[in-house]
Amino acid sequence: MRHARRRIVRRVARLAAVGGLLVGGTMVTRAVASEPPDAPAASRTLALPASGTGSALVARLGASRTAGHWIGPDGRPVVAVTDDEAAGEVRRAGAAAEVVPHSMAELKSATSALRSAPRVAGTAWALDYRSNEVVVRGDSTVPAAEWARLTRVAEGIGGFVRMERIEGAFTTRLNGGRPILSTAGRCSAGFNVTDGRGDFLLTAGHCGPTGSVWFGDDGGGRQLGRTVANSFPGDDFSLVAYTNGGAGNGSDVVAVGGGKGVRITGTGEAAVGQRVFRSGSTSGLRDGRVTALDATVNYPEGTVSGLIQTDVCAEPGDSGGPMFSEGIALGVTSGGSGDCAKGGTTFFQPVTEALTSLGMRLIVSSPDGSGRRAAPAPPASGTAAPGAAAPGAPAPVSGTGGSTLVSRLTDRRNVGPGLLVIAGSLIALTATRWLRTERDRKAYRRYYSATWG
How many whole angstroms separate alpha carbon 318 and alpha carbon 190?
A: 10
Q: How far is CA 354 from the centre of its chain?
A: 18
74 is catalytic: no
User: Phi/psi at 316 (nearest 5 deg)?
Assistant: -55, 135
H helix or E strand, kind and range, residue 234:
none
Q: Which helix (H) or strand (E) holds 442?
A: helix 416-452
CA dihedral of residues 86, 89, 90, 93 (deg, nearest 10): -170
- Give the residue from 237, 267, 240, 241 showing the smallest Cα distance to 252: 267
Q: Is the Cβ–Cβ distance between 347 and 295 less than 8 Å? A: yes
Classified as helix, coil or strand, 80 is strand
Cα torsion angle, 352, 185, 325, 39, sign: positive
Helix (H, G, I), strand (E, B) or coil at 257: strand
**From the candidates 199, 235, 236, 318, which is the catalytic residue?**
236
Choosing from 69, 102, 206, 252, the catalytic residue is 206
Structure letter (DSSP) for residue 204: -
299 CB-near residues (< 8 Å, 6+ apart): 121, 170, 171, 172, 206, 233, 335
- Count of alpha carbons within 13 Å of 386, Cβ hemisphere only? 0
First to last CA, the chain: 28
What whole-number distance in Å separates Cα of residue 352 and Cα of residue 267?
A: 7
Which among 285, 240, 271, 297 has a CA at the least distance from the CA of 124?
297
Q: Are 328 and 265 spatial neighbours (Cβ–Cβ below 8 Å)?
A: yes
Q: Let me know if 236 is a catalytic residue.
A: yes
Q: Which of 188, 279, 281, 319 is catalytic?
A: 319
Exposed, middle or buried: residue 11 (CB in 10 Å: 0-12, 13-18, 19+)? exposed
Strands 161-165 and 133-138: parallel
- The helix or strand, by DSSP H or E, that contains position 231, with its residue range, turns out to be strand 223-231
Residue 305 a catalytic site member: no
Q: What is the spatial distance between Cα 364 and Cα 262, in angstroms, rounded to a whole number?
A: 11
SS3 293: strand
Annotated active-site positions, please? Answer: 206, 236, 319
